Structures are given as structure tokens and as C-alpha cells.
Amino acid sequence: MRLVLASFSPRRLALLGRLGVTPDRIVSPDIDETPHKAELPRDYVLRMAQEKAAAVARADDEILIAGDTTVAVGRRILGQAQDDAEQRKFLELVSGRRHHVMTSVCMVAPDGTARTKLSDSIVKFKRFEAWEIAAYIASGEGKGKAGGYAIQGQAEAFVTWMSGSYSGIMGLPLYETRNLLITSGYPIG
């Protein structure tokens, strides 16, 4: 049985490796990731994983896995920080408050059955000083990351409390992913 990862994310690839899984193919889906008007973060992240899965061609003997991660402050979706100004804005929003990190995984089995699971974790950061935000932005670590930060790097030192899946916050919830692989018939230990 062959596995297709619909993501060029090095984090997702590394997290799959923690399960002892190596994809046979890696393809990056090309979709519009713009949230719909008034779309809730939970609905958005589920839709993104499903659209990414649907955008990648799959042979009959392949299992396909796609995922998406978003950070939410209330109903507000914080996507991938595109520049320093947006990253600063995102970090100011999450400073000193709880926020949700949602990752959805969509798996398409060889018979074409698609299943989607959601991991919803909560992270609370310390209240940032202006110099901490500036230093973090200067590190370059959070560019292109949901919410403007990478939990597995320097940002981990700012976490005062969290609840949920650490791997989900990184971009691929291992518990949900392992169960989806088993349900899809992928041989896993």
C-alpha cells in the first residue's frame, strides 16, 4: 500500500516519521486558502484539509493524507504570517492570552472514502514585551507559519500553559493521524 502526503511541510513529513511512516510520494496541493466571509476557524481548517486532499490525484492503491493548521483568536483566523508587519500583529493578538491552534487531517483510503479529524489545542503565551516580539520576528522563525510562530522552536519558551496535542500544534496530530492510517488500512505498528 502506497502513501501520498499532500504537503511540502517539512514538519508534517518529520511528524509522520515519528510514526515510522515514510510517504511514497509528496505533492503540494495548489488551492486558494482564503477564508470565506464569516467562516469560523473550525469550519475553515476542516475545509482546507478536505480541499487539499481533493486537489491531489491519487491512484487506486494509494492512501492520501492532507492537513491544515490555523490559529484562532476568538472567531478571528490567523493564517500564515506573510511579512514582519503581519507577524507583529499576530504576536500582539496572542500575547498574554489563550488562543486555539486547530489542525485537521483528511485521509482518503484506497476505496475513495475520505475521513477527516480535527485536533483543537489551546495555547497561552506570556505577555510579550515589545523587544521580545522584535527579537522573535528578527529570528525569522515564525515567517510563513500559522499565527506567526513555530511552537517547536524559540516560541516554546513563551508558553505559560497549553492543553491538547503538541504534535497537532506543530502541524500534524499524531494520535488522530495514526488512527486514520489504521482505519484506511495502512500497515502501522
| Enclosing H/E stretch for 154 | none
Question: What value does the CA radius of gyration of the chain take, rounded to a whole number of Å?
Answer: 17
Whole-angstrom distance, CA of residue 34 vs CA of residue 14: 27
Neighbouring-strand partners of residue 160: none
Whole-angstrom distance, CA of residue 57 vs CA of residue 72: 30
Reduced to 3 states (helix: H, G, I; strand: E, B; else coil), residue 125 is strand
Cα–Cα nearest to 4, from 51, 20, 189, 13:
13
Does the annotation mark 68 as catalytic?
Answer: yes
Q: How do beta strands 62-73 and 98-108 pair?
A: antiparallel
Q: Which of 68, 83, 84, 120 is catalytic?
A: 68
35 DSSP assignment: P
Q: Answer yes or no: are the C-beta atoms of 71 and 94 closer than 8 Å.
A: yes
Q: Read off the C-alpha cell for 161.
A: 500553559
Q: Which are the catalytic amino acids?
A: 68
